[in-house]
Chain A
Amino acid sequence: MTFKQTEVTEILKKLSESSDRYVFMNELVKEAYRLYKKVPIYPGIVGMCVDNVLKETQDIKKGDKIIVKCKGLFYEGKITSIKDGTVELTDVKVLQEKKVAKIKLGKNKVLKYNFSTLGQLWPSLNFEKK
């Protein structure tokens, strides 16, 4: 057994765990980096903070950035008003989770995940059985 000599991995671990719970990760990743920049010598504390960035709450007000799940859609945005139980958001991102989807590609840009980068860039470090 060896010991970790950095707690930066804690931040990665927390982000990975969060990605299982939340569909929007952009803001969380950025906040993690912002926190790291603030206290770069205490990455363990950054990891603890990351765990608390997104919390379920009823305590919302104008200006807050929130994520709401409604009728199978996830909305992320900044609150501009709250009235009669309805929030109005700005800079909104909407995401829907589906089991399957059919999309006509046409000229649409496609980004593909590559899960073999280690083997391609550093084959000597890739110990996964082929």
Chain B
Amino acid sequence: MNKKLEKSVYIISGPVEFELKQGEVISIGKKILVGEKIFVPEGKRIPLEVYTESQIELNRETKVEQITTRTIPDDWDKVVDYVVNNKINSLLVFGEVDTGKTFFSTYLTNRFLENKLKVSVLDCDTGQSDIGLPGSLGLAVFKEQVLFMSDTKPDALAFLGSHSPSEHFLHYASGFVKMVNYGLKNSDIVIIDTPGWVQTDGGRALRKTEIELLQGLGTNYCIILLQRERELEHLVKGLKKSQIIRLTVSKKASLTSVDERKKLREFMYTKYFKNAHTVEYDFENIFTDRGYFLSGEEVNQKVLDKKVLWIERLSNWEGLFVIARKELTSLEIEKIKKKLNVKRIITTTENNYVGMVSALLDENHEVIGFAIIEKVDFDNKKIFLRTPIYNKKECIKGIQFGSIKVTFLGQENGFVEPGTV
């Protein structure tokens, strides 16, 4: 079905695919070419800025709302000039939840590309990842303009293992440094899209740490405050005026409920794991990271209860790491301590591993993909992983444990307590 668009601004809601038949249309800073087909996914809306009378062909009936003003606030355009003139190489985008940080980052990416700058975007919003899997920090180096970050494949990944940096601050900081470094080496500017946690101890600590890390990396950074009023000012007190750009939130920034966020994450998991196959590794052919399992020396557990599946001796006073079929009682734990002459035991159950989302590492400890742990066979010392990168089995050298569990269909299915695997 054809629709004529006059010189104005429109909002088009997905799911729909449309083709620009004629005219001049720009969306989120990207020039849409005549003949180009654009797919707007369900739950997403994009603005169309029509500069000359245009015509689009829609593959289905959908809401095309004409509005009176641009959805892009005018002050957003000043950022491009400021960054270019001041040779800024990293932009930290701060904003509360639902202030359109990703939309802003997309707009800026397209505008920088238009100015012939090489741009990378680091998506740190692990609860609402667009680049990479939820629970990871993904970085993409852009060669062409885009409308949705989620259409982009990451060039580099770091694993957080959680949807929130809460209780995972160190992994967040290490991943942040790794990804920013990659971006700086491979582009002129890194746009850092941060999570919306900007208040209370955790939010303040994280945002302040990001600033300190950029200082430590020696970047020429600038902080974008996307705020409705003055809710982010506490994060930039004492910084030079030239390092802060205050912008207004787009009036069209839409709210996403907790349930919608969960659905979006599950959509990302399902999409990633839909072509997954099982690969198996002998314990001796794969290293583990961010956990106790396989970090110590195996102890023959056959002397013990049938409930015990695996025991290893950890470093010095750390004692033993014991994996059991079911949770051990305090009496059973005391029995093991006595029998193996140790004062300290960390216990867990085999169920803790099944369904855990993990990162797959190459020989340089770089994240090359993700897997869901399917099974651990302690008798035959094998681990079974479901991953879409099964064809890279030879490159997978390590598995990095996380704190999220999903079903094989990609539905969220609980957590793994940090310090128990």
Contact = CB atoms under 8 A, between A and B. Distances in A.
Interface string B193-211: 0000000011011001000
B373 to A, nearest CB: 17
A62 B41 CA distance: 49
A127 interface: no
A37 to B, nearest CB: 6
B166 interface: yes
A17 interface: no
Interface stretch (B31-39, B81-89, B385-393, B412-420): B412-420
Contact of A41 (B168, B201, B208): B168
Interface string A6-49: 11000000000000000000000000000001111111100000
A40 B415 contact: yes
Contacts of B169: 5
B164 interface: yes
Nearest to A6: B167
A47 to B, nearest CB: 12
B105 interface: no
Given A38-B414, A40-B415, A5 B164 contact: no
B162 interface: yes
B400 interface: no
Nearest to A39: B415
Given A37-B417, A38-B414, A43 B201 contact: no
Nearest to A5: B169
Interface residues of B, number: 18
Contacts of A37: 417
Contact of A5 (B162, B205, B415): B205
A3 interface: yes
Interface in B41-64: none
B129 interface: no
Contact of B417 (A5, A7, A40): A40
Contacts of B416: 40
A39 B405 CA distance: 11
A102 interface: no
A4 interface: yes
B403 A5 contact: no
Contacts of A40: 167, 403, 415-418
- Chief secondary structure at chain A's binding surface: loop
Contacts of A5: 169, 201-202, 205
Interface string A92-123: 00000000000000000000000000000000
Interface in B162-189: 162-164, 166-169
Contacts of B418: 40-41
Given A41-B166, A42-B166, A3 B403 contact: no
B265 to A, nearest CB: 14
Interface in B373-421: 403, 414-418
A41 B202 contact: no
B234 to A, nearest CB: 12
Contacts of A44: 166
Interface in B189-247: 201-202, 204-205, 208
Nearest to B209: A3
B204 A41 contact: no
A8 to B, nearest CB: 8
Q: Of residues A5, A6, A7, A39, which shows the largest number of chain B Cβ atoms within 10 Å of its Cβ? A: A5
Contacts of A4: 201-202, 205
B205 A41 contact: no
Given A41-B162, A43-B166, 4 more contacts: A7-B202, A40-B415, A40-B416, A41-B164
11 contacts: A3-B205, A4-B201, A5-B201, A5-B205, A6-B166, A39-B415, A40-B167, A40-B415, A40-B416, A40-B417, A41-B418
The 8 closest A-B pairs by CB, nearest first: A3-B205, A40-B417, A4-B201, A3-B201, A41-B167, A41-B162, A41-B403, A5-B169
